[in-house]
């Protein structure tokens, strides 16, 4: 089964270098697994980077997420927002046991 890269539907982490008008403008992010589904691509900067694209999820290391299949995100799209001093995938959904 072919997997398409889920798009980042919104990002409210305005201080991120890739955030322009509440949209992620990097080609792809990695969602990490440091106790929660953090955006490992988050980079705080005043200068903006990225291109004229809407970002997607390139990899997901959040093994406890029900959308994670072989380190790929299978959600139709994700939302990213603040968690403490960094960004998290707010679409995270724990696996049922």
- Answer yes or no: is pLDDT of 2 > 70: no
Please tell me the total count of domains within the chain: 1
| 53 found inside a domain | yes
The answer to whether residue 94 sits within a structural domain is no
Q: Using pLDDT thresholds of 50, 70 and 90, give the confidence band for residue 4.
A: confident
Q: Which domain holds residue 65?
A: 7-89
CB neighbour class for 52 (10 Å; exposed up to 12, middle 13-18, buried from 19): exposed
Q: What are the tens digits of pLDDT across the range 48-72?
A: 999 899 999 999 999 999 999 999 9
Asked whether residue 1 is domain-assigned, the answer is: no
Q: What is the pLDDT of residues 64-96, one digit of tens each?
A: 999 999 999 999 999 999 998 889 999 999 998
Q: How far apart are CA 53 and CA 79, in angstroms?
A: 16
Q: What is the mean pLDDT of residues 22-41?
A: 93
Residue 48 resides in a domain: yes
Q: Is residue 2 part of a domain?
A: no
């Amino acid at each position: 089964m072919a997997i398409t890269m889920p798009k980042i539907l919104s990002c409210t982490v305005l201080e991120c270098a890739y955030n322009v008008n509440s949209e992620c403008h990097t080609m792809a992010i990695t969602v990490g697994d440091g106790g929660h589904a953090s955006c490992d691509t988050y980079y705080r900067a005043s200068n903006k980077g990225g291109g004229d694209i809407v970002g997607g999820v390139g990899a997901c290391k959040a093994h406890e997420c029900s959308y994670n299949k072989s380190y790929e995100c299978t959600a139709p799209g994700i939302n990213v927002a603040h968690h403490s001093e960094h960004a998290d995938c707010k679409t995270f959904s724990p696996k049922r046991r």
